[in-house]
């Protein structure tokens, strides 16, 4: 035996060194969201201009369908659905982390500078790079994700470094992030105003976020980051709960606050950078998914797994809606707000005991 | 004061201080056209808009007790943007006056909706639902705006100029109404200052001190709506001031809202006029819009100040 023992007790679950409190409602909410995510995922593969039935999809995934169906499913629909789920999960999880460590429901990974850095990088590449036609669309298509990821990581590193004064205070890093985001945003809008209209249009398209034309090449980085994030976060879960009491309490209860904060911020930034470089800054997910998950699970802070799954549901549902119901193809970044905002508003109105 | 004088003097044509005074007094002078026709309206506009946004931001952060709250999260800017975009998309509006009116209507409607949602869920007792409802509504309106902008090139062309915010190309006709709106907002904000100090102690304690939550919230939110709607319809959605001026003012004068509100307004004026002057100077004939300069340079200045200053938390 490896020394890992699984003990279910009335007050908690012990899994080796990791303990989780036993909360039926959180587990139930997470399970429900997971089932919904799976359904929307399958529906997302089935829906589209050439309608497929669910059995067709399953047959294609099992490798026993005719070649046309199997091409549509594995080459076109599956990467897109996987990308939608991964983008949603990355942003939902990053949002939950940011809202938790800053103890502020309005805090999204954007305030760490990562989104605005990625946007400034990508828009600069589109506008200064001469647009999609003169340089060559394939080069640009390869270049923009890389430029965006680098821009996002540099900006986030800058925010963290500038906020450092013998340790990073979660209030100060928020304010630094505001300033940095404003600067980079100003730069981005300057580029947009100065650009020719076609380039401005292309850049605006990128800035709302879209899943169209996404391939496996941009899905793998997100899955890799998600795969690394989950084990790291399991070790930080207790710290996230303790952190809700404030720095003084956390320190006196034995939490290495600075190391914990660096890990949490680092994971959130990596998740966001991966998602943004793949699909552009798909807005609103990082804000709405944790808020929805928190209300569904009835917890005091956003539950991590449920937030990631909720993010995946919202992005997948938005993508299905964009492809099947509406004329033309509307970028998914627009529909996410149309799906997420009314639901959150409804939860706000319905629940009388909102925190 | 200095910023105002500089704003009158500097531009693509440099005018000395003496000539400015001369032109202000003697209407026959050559430079009269530039000074009265362009610089004075622009400076006045900068003062009004900067002060309004600074005060509105301070009220907003006091109401929500959230350092990330700017007047925009109350749906005002998003509502104004949507109204302007719909105006261009449906009616092909291009007169500045109609655009201002549309922005005003959109701003007021959006803020009423946000307030209704927050109160429906017993939102007055806690500042959190208000902020969340505002963010959700803003996102929804923003999504519709982006949809319209992306589907129509004419709308994109008009929108991308309007959305960065600018003090140029406006004249003083029709601004009187907006200035009155801002004035009403300022009075309401002044009345709200005491309540904000009580709210800073937490809602339970504020209620214990005899504060009527309904009145405190309603006056504060009305002040924010009037101030922001006036500013947005005058100069477009200038985002940065409402968020950052209160933080700088809090570092200067502390957390007492009776001093914080005017200080935040003055910081706003300074930032806006400064950014406008810099935008005129660095751009040459094709000047850079004030919203862009404000965000780009203001962001850097803000980071430097936040790094150095001892922070006064909300």
Look at residue B163 and tell me whether its pLDDT is greater than 80: no
- B297 or A307, which is more confident? A307
Look at residue A92 and tell me whether its pLDDT is greater than 90: yes
CA nearest to A204 within chain B = B150
- A269 or B77, which is more confident? A269
What pairing do the DSSP bridges indicate for beta strands A12-15 and A6-8? antiparallel
Angle at B21 between CA B16 and CA B27, to 5 degrees: 115
For residue B20, the distance in angstroms to the closest alpha carbon of chain A comes to 31
Query: Which of A:177-196 have CB within 8 Å of B?
Result: 178-187, 189-190, 192-193
**Distance (Å, rounded) from C-alpha A195 to C-alpha A186?**
14
pLDDT at A132: 45
Q: Following DSSP, what letter does each residue of A112-158 receive, concatenated?
A: GTHHHHHHHHHHHHHHHTTHHHHS-HHHHHHHHHHHHHHHHHHHHHH
Asked, for residue B193, whether it belongs to a domain, the answer is: yes
pLDDT at A3: 41
pLDDT at A44: 77
Look at residue A80 and tell me whether its pLDDT is greater than 50: yes
Look at residue A2 and tell me whether its pLDDT is greater than 50: no
pLDDT at A252: 79
Both structure tokens of B173:
């006709």
Asked, for residue B314, whether it belongs to a domain, the answer is: no
- The total domain count for chain B is 1
**Residue A344 contacts B, CB cutoff 8 Å:** yes
What pairing do the DSSP bridges indicate for beta strands A6-8 and A18-21? unpaired
- A132 or A331, which is more confident? A331
Mean pLDDT, range B218-227, rounded to an integer: 85
| Alpha carbon A121 to chain centroid, angstroms | 19
Q: How confident is the model at residue A272 (pLDDT cuts 50, 70, 90)?
A: very high
Look at residue A115 and tell me whether its pLDDT is greater than 70: yes
A294 chain-B contacts, CB cut-off 8 A: none
* Burial of B284: CB neighbours in 10 Å, binned 0-12, 13-18, 19+: exposed
Mean pLDDT, range A153-158, rounded to an integer: 90
For chain A, percent of residues with pLDDT exceeding 90: 9
Both structure tokens of A66:
């005719």
Domain that holds residue B71: 2-308
Give the range with max mean pLDDT: A87-91, B128-132, B147-151, B217-221: A87-91
| Among B147, B296, B302, beta carbon nearest to A330 | B147
pLDDT digits (tens, 9 = 90+) for B30-41: 555 555 556 677
Angle at A74 between CA A68 and CA A79, to 5 degrees: 140
**Distance (Å, rounded) from C-alpha B196 to C-alpha B185?**
15
**Distance (Å, rounded) from C-alpha A245 to C-alpha A138?**
50
Q: Do B243 and A204 touch (CB under 8 A)?
A: no
Mean pLDDT, range B264-271, rounded to an integer: 87
- B262 or A57, which is more confident? B262
Q: Which of B129, B309, B209 is nearest to A353 (CA)?
A: B129
pLDDT at A67: 77
Look at residue A93 and tell me whether its pLDDT is greater than 80: yes
| Among B131, B137, B147, beta carbon nearest to A105 | B131
A107 chain-B contacts, CB cut-off 8 A: 68
| Alpha carbon B112 to chain centroid, angstroms | 18
For residue B246, the distance in angstroms to the closest alpha carbon of chain A comes to 11
**Distance (Å, rounded) from C-alpha A105 to C-alpha A314?**
18
Q: B84 vs A20, B17, B91, B142, CA distance in Å?
A: 51, 38, 10, 12
Q: Do A341 and B67 touch (CB under 8 A)?
A: no
Look at residue A94 and tell me whether its pLDDT is greater than 90: yes
Angle at B218 between CA B231 and CA A175, to 5 degrees: 55
Query: Which of B:156-195 have CB within 8 Å of A?
Result: 156-157, 160-161, 163-164
pTM for this structure?
0.79
**Distance (Å, rounded) from C-alpha A102 to C-alpha A83?**
28
**Residue A174 contacts B, CB cutoff 8 Å:** yes
Q: A64 vs A6, A67, A69, A146, CA distance in Å?
A: 39, 9, 10, 37
Max Cα distance, chain B (Å): 64
Mean pLDDT, range B260-271, rounded to an integer: 87
**Residue B85 contacts A, CB cutoff 8 Å:** no
pLDDT digits (tens, 9 = 90+) for A237-261: 777 877 777 777 777 777 778 888 8
pLDDT at A125: 82
Q: Which of B86, B75, B232 is nearest to B141 (CA)?
A: B75
Mean pLDDT, range B208-222, rounded to an integer: 80
Q: How confident is the model at residue B22 (pLDDT cuts 50, 70, 90)?
A: low
Strands (E), chain A: 6-8, 12-15, 18-21
Question: Which residues share a beta bridge with A7?
Answer: A14
Where do the H-state alpha helices sit in chain B? Answer: 2-9, 17-25, 32-34, 40-64, 76-86, 96-120, 127-151, 153-162, 175-199, 203-208, 213-235, 240-253, 257-283, 290-308
Asked, for residue B253, whether it belongs to a domain, the answer is: yes
What CATH code is carried by the domain that includes residue B139?
1.10.3470.10
Q: Picking from A33-37, B188-192, B251-255, which range would have the lowest pLDDT averaged per residue?
A: B251-255
Q: Which of B40, B52, B37 is nearest to B180 (CA)?
A: B52
Homologous superfamily in CATH for domain A23-350: ABC transporter involved in vitamin B12 uptake, BtuC (1.10.3470.10)
Helix (H, G, I), strand (E, B) or coil at A164: strand
Look at residue A235 and tell me whether its pLDDT is greater than 60: yes
Q: How confident is the model at residue A166 (pLDDT cuts 50, 70, 90)?
A: confident
Mean pLDDT, range B74-97, rounded to an integer: 79
Q: How confident is the model at residue A355 (pLDDT cuts 50, 70, 90)?
A: very low
Look at residue A204 and tell me whether its pLDDT is greater than 60: yes
Look at residue A109 and tell me whether its pLDDT is greater than 80: yes
Q: Do B132 and A201 touch (CB under 8 A)?
A: no
Look at residue A354 and tell me whether its pLDDT is greater than 50: no
Q: A235 vs A6, A230, A259, CA distance in Å?
A: 16, 9, 12
pLDDT at A352: 52
Look at residue B13 and tell me whether its pLDDT is greater than 50: no
């Amino acid at each position: 035996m490896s020394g890992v023992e699984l003990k279910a007790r009335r007050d908690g679950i012990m899994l080796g060194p990791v303990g989780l409190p036993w909360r039926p409602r959180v587990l139930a909410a997470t399970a429900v969201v997971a089932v919904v995510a799976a359904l929307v995922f399958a529906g997302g593969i089935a829906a589209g201009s050439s309608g497929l039935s669910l059995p067709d999809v399953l047959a294609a995934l099992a490798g026993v369908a005719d070649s046309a169906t199997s091409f549509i499913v594995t080459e076109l629909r599956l990467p897109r659905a996987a990308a939608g789920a991964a983008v949603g999960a990355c942003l939902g999880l990053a949002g939950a982390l940011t809202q938790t460590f800053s103890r502020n429901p309005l805090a999204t990974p954007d305030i760490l500078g990562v989104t605005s850095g990625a946007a400034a990088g990508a828009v600069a590449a589109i506008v200064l790079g001469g647009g999609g036609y003169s340089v060559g669309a394939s080069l640009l298509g390869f270049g923009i994700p890389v430029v965006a990821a680098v821009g996002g990581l540099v900006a986030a590193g800058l925010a963290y470094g500038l906020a450092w004064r013998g340790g990073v205070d979660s209030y100060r890093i928020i304010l630094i992030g505001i300033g940095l985001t404003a600067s980079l945003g100003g730069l981005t809008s300057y580029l947009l105003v100065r650009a020719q209209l076609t380039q401005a249009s292309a850049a605006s398209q990128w800035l709302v976020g879209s899943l169209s034309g996404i391939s496996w090449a941009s899905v793998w980085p997100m899955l890799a980051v998600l795969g690394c994030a989950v084990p790291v976060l399991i070790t930080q879960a207790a710290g996230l709960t303790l952190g809700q009491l404030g720095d003084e309490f956390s320190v006196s209860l034995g939490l290495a606050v600075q190391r914990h904060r660096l890990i949490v911020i680092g994971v959130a930034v990596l998740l966001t950078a991966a998602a943004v470089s793949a699909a552009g800054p798909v807005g609103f997910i990082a804000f709405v998914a944790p808020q929805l998950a928190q209300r569904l699970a009835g917890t005091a802070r956003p539950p991590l797994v449920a937030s990631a799954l909720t993010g995946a549901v919202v992005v997948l549902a938005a993508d299905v809606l964009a492809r099947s119901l509406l004329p033309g193809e509307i970028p998914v970044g627009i529909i996410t707000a149309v799906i997420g905002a009314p639901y959150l508003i409804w939860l706000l109105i319905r629940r009388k005991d909102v925190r | 004061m200095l910023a105002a004088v500089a704003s009158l003097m500097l531009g693509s044509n440099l005018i000395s201080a003496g000539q400015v005074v001369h032109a202000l007094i003697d209407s026959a002078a050559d430079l009269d056209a530039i000074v009265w026709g362009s610089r004075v309206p622009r400076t006045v506009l900068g003062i009004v808009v900067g002060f309004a946004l600074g005060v509105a931001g301070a009220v907003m952060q006091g109401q929500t007790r959230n350092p990330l709250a700017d007047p925009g999260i109350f749906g005002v800017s998003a509502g104004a943007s949507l109204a302007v975009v719909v105006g261009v998309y449906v009616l092909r509006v291009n007169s500045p006056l109609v655009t201002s009116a549309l922005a005003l209507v959109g701003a007021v409607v959006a803020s009423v909706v946000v307030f209704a949602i927050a109160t429906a869920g017993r939102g007055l007792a806690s500042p959190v639902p208000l902020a969340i409802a505002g963010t959700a509504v803003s996102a929804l309106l923003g999504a519709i705006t982006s949809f319209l902008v992306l589907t129509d090139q004419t709308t994109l062309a008009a929108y991308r100029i309007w959305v960065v915010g600018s003090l140029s190309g406006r004249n003083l006709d029709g601004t009187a109404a907006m200035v009155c709106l801002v004035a009403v907002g300022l009075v309401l904000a002044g009345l709200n200052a005491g309540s904000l100090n009580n709210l800073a102690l937490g809602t339970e304690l504020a209620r214990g001190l005899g504060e009527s939550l309904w009145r405190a919230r309603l006056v504060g939110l009305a002040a924010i709506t009037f101030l922001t709607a006036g500013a947005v319809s005058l100069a477009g959605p200038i985002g940065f001031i409402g968020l950052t001026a209160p933080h700088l003012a809090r570092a200067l004068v502390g957390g007492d809202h009776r001093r914080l509100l005017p200080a935040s307004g003055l910081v706003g004026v300074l930032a806006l006029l400064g950014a406008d002057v810099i935008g005129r100077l660095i751009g040459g004939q094709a000047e850079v819009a004030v919203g862009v300069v404000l965000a780009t340079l203001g962001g850097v200045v803000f980071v430097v100040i936040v790094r150095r200053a001892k922070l006064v938390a909300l």
